[in-house]
């Protein structure tokens, strides 16, 4: 790892564009080249990455994050997205043609694929909070009630969710709601209004807006991926 980091730093110093995808982003972060920069990584290791490299501004929802002399990409097949991104810099037409030959759809975000309960972390407070929240996604969220349920202060709970998943408790609950809503839309004939009620939203319009914002997909696109 140390030798790889030194090699990457020398390459960056020469003006070479340095890239990494999936777990390769850990090698790049270890080199220090991501310190103070934005980056992404494979979504299920995001909590571990955030804990190990606190000086990196991580956004694991993104598939590709260019940041100065470095570019990072997300999970496993993110190297395909990364390669197409590099080709697109020179020729958008060639990138589009290559994507068609590879049958590679555009994946600007990892959010649509992430499974919240597969995030790699060992924080007991966050685990208790997730278990408590999943049983109450149809209810109005209360930070006071959540803190009492996990046996911590509101500030402690917020600090733990921020450290582990990079989000506030409310934002994390919204992730859980998005995950359940997308699952219900893909696997049941329930209407958008019915799904909205199951995940704590007053109407389908609010849920549509949330899904579009978080997953960058509309209801029809989500149902088509069933």
Hey, where are the domains in the chain? 2-102, 117-224
pTM of the model: 0.57
pLDDT given at position 76: 72
Q: pLDDT tens, 56-115? A: 999 888 888 989 889 999 887 777 888 888 887 778 788 788 877 776 766 666 655 555
Domain spanning 2-102: CATH 3.40.50.880: yes
Please state, for a pLDDT cut of 90, what percent of the chain lies above it. 40
* Paired tokens of 41: 């990584």
Q: pLDDT tens, 181-202? A: 988 998 889 999 999 999 999 8
CATH class of domain segment(s) 117-224: mainly alpha
Please state, for a pLDDT cut of 70, what percent of the chain lies above it. 90
pLDDT given at position 85: 81
Q: Which residues contact 152 (CB under 8 A, 6 or more apart)?
A: 125, 160
| CB 116 within 8 Å of CB 222 | no
Mean pLDDT for all residues in the chain? 86
Span of 27-41, 42-56, 94-108, 190-204 with lowest mean pLDDT: 94-108
């Amino acid at each position: 790892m140390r030798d790889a980091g030194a090699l990457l730093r020398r390459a960056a110093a020469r003006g070479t564009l340095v890239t990494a995808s999936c777990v390769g982003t850990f090698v790049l972060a270890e080199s220090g080249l991501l310190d103070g920069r934005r980056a992404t990584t494979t979504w299920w290791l995001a909590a571990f990455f955030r804990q190990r490299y606190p000086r990196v501004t991580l956004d694991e929802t993104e598939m590709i994050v260019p940041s100065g002399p470095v570019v990072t990409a997300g999970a496993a097949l993110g190297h395909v997205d990364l390669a197409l991104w590099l080709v697109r810099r020179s020729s958008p037409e060639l990138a589009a043609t290559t994507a068609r030959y590879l049958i590679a759809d555009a994946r600007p975000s990892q959010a649509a694929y992430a499974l919240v309960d597969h995030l790699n972390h060992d924080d007991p407070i966050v685990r208790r909070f997730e278990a408590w929240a999943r049983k109450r996604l149809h209810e109005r969220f209360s930070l006071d009630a959540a803190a009492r349920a996990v046996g911590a202060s509101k500030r402690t709970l917020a600090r733990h969710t921020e450290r582990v998943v990079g989000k506030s408790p409310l934002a994390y609950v919204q992730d859980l709601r998005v995950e359940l809503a997308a699952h219900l839309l893909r696997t049941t004939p329930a209407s958008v209004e019915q799904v909205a009620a199951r995940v704590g939203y007053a109407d389908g319009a609010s849920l549509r807006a949330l899904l579009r914002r978080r997953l960058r997909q509309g209801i029809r696109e989500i149902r088509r991926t069933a």
